[in-house]
Chains A and B, each alone.
Chain A
Amino acid sequence: MSEVELGGVGVDYESLGRTITAIDGIDLKIPAGDALSIIGPSGCGKSTLLYTLSGLIKPTRGSVKINGRELSGQRRETALILQDYGLFPWNTVFDNAALGLRVRHVPKDEINAEVGNILRRLGLWDMRDRYPVQLSGGQRQRVAIARSLALNPDLLLMDEPFSSLDALTREELQNTVLEIWRERNINGRNSSNGNSSAKLLTIVLVTHSIEEAAFLGRRIAVMEMGPGRIIKVVDNNGMGGVEYRNTPAFYDRCAGLRGLLKGGAREVVGVE
């Protein structure tokens, strides 16, 4: 379970002696098992918001609560996937996927079993001894997903995870993420097998792709910049199926989001 609650969150940082406000006044409630997309123009602070959720950045103002507890540093159950640099070129596929567990001193047998399962599940088992340079971009991000799943997270944070991939690979990986989210949340609701992997999975995805936001977000937070704020949270109940991206409802949703983003941009221009 992970319920995320942000109240009045603001992050300032120093750059060349000036204080710059990256995000401000962020109020957001993400129920456990939700899938939230955060979309906004480049530089609107959406990555800062995500890092704040991960505990890597401490907010200057406001509070971040996960499951009712104030966040201080990283949580064991939070996993983060970055666009690049996430995988280490000096580790094989297996070692990359196992790294999070090794860092946590999980016994070796457990690591082998757990990582083995996840690699098989993601179709990476045959590549376990390869190094990242020997993989395609899509395979690399698959390994990044494997690594975060190995942590058995209840909160999965993704920072533009697929933006450097070609269109077809991107859709394939979006489908994979959607499947994982659905699987986990159906298992979680029934909790029939009672094992630890049956907890709800909350996904927060930062993207600048309107289609990605609409495909993977059950709710979509639209941000504007200067400083980064959430201008609207859109409900997107139609999502959840792989076929959703071919439906008229999807196109309408994308058009709506595009309108919101353009409106936000115009406002910023107006302010300046």
Chain B
Amino acid sequence: MSKVKGYLGAAVTLFIVWYALAILLNTQALPTPVSTLSDFFHLLPSDLLWHFAVSLYRVGLSIILGVLLALPIGLILGREESIDRFFAPLIFILYPIPKVVFLPILLLLLGLGNLSKIVLITVIVFFQILVTTRDAAREIPSQTILSMKSLGATKWQIYRHVIYPASLPKMFTALRIAAGTAIAVLFFAESFATQDGLGYFIVDAWSRINYPDMFGGIVAMAIMGIIIYELLDLIEHRLCPWTKL
């Protein structure tokens, strides 16, 4: 409940600042929050909700896929030196490359639909989670592993009961950062050769010089961000209750 109050307070503060700026600048490019919100609610049922759903689906699925792929691979690379020795250089070559440059190739190979966008965002989330979980798994003190071994645990049990939970909180930190990047990349991917998604909605309104619509799209994007962060928080709470004490 206090969280809702926090968001409401933040929204009210933002709207006041925004309102003041809009009055001061007195330009078409910055509509007041009142006209933005009235457009937002007007467009929501007919149009905006659909774009919102498409975007949330793309970014949500990408995050899930990225985590499901990166988490196990990161944990294994962090603990198995023989495998890591081979793959680590590969990762460090690929990691700093801005993955968005692959969008044209992906569009060419995978088409203009959802797949190319989801693959692009998944790859970006994948690398951010991979590098963090690999480091987290490496940093587990050998005493911790030893203590589990002394109980007679198998390799799989050590992964399940020690390496996975020990790395999980750091994975969530990386995931928060990755989620922000994912939304930014989503916007980028949706501004090319597509007819749906919030990125398309915003860019389209922009090209029509319909600024209240455009800001309505931005508000929708902010709401999507809140939903994703709150969901991550909720999941982290369930999976890592010991970090919240």
Contacts and interface: CB of A to CB of B under 8 A. Distances in A.
Interface size bracket, A side: 20 to 34
A85 B144 contact: yes
Contacts, number: 59
Interface size bracket, B side: 20 to 34
A74 B150 contact: yes
Interface stretch (B55-63, B67-75, B86-94, B159-167): B159-167
Contacts of B166: 88, 90
A56 interface: yes
Contact of B245 (A82, A131, A147): A131
Interface string A21-60: 0000000000000000000000000000001001010000
B24 interface: no
Given A56-B146, A85-B144, A131-B245, A90 B240 contact: yes
B162 A88 contact: yes
Contacts of B152: 74, 76, 100, 103-104
Contact of B242 (A80, A89, A104, A147): A89
A133 B245 contact: yes
B143 A134 contact: no
B238 to A, nearest CB: 13
A151 interface: yes
B153 A103 contact: yes
Given A131-B241, A131-B242, A88 B150 contact: no
A99 B161 contact: yes
Contact of B151 (A89, A99, A131, A134): A99
A12 interface: no
Nearest to A82: B147
Interface in A58-105: 74, 76, 78-80, 82, 84-86, 88-91, 99-100, 103-104
Nearest to A78: B150
Interface in A133-158: 133-134, 147, 151
A220 B151 CA distance: 26
Contact of A85 (B141, B157, B245): B141
Contact of B143 (A54, A85, A89, A91): A85
B127 to A, nearest CB: 26
Interface string B129-153: 0000000000001011011111111
A74 B245 contact: no
Given A85-B141, A88-B165, 14 more contacts: A56-B146, A74-B149, A79-B150, A80-B150, A86-B143, A86-B147, A90-B165, A90-B166, A99-B151, A103-B152, A103-B157, A104-B151, A131-B245, A133-B245
13 contacts: A51-B146, A74-B152, A80-B147, A82-B146, A85-B141, A88-B162, A90-B168, A103-B153, A104-B151, A104-B152, A131-B241, A147-B151, A151-B151
Interface of B: 141, 143-144, 146-154, 157, 161-162, 165-166, 168, 240-242, 245
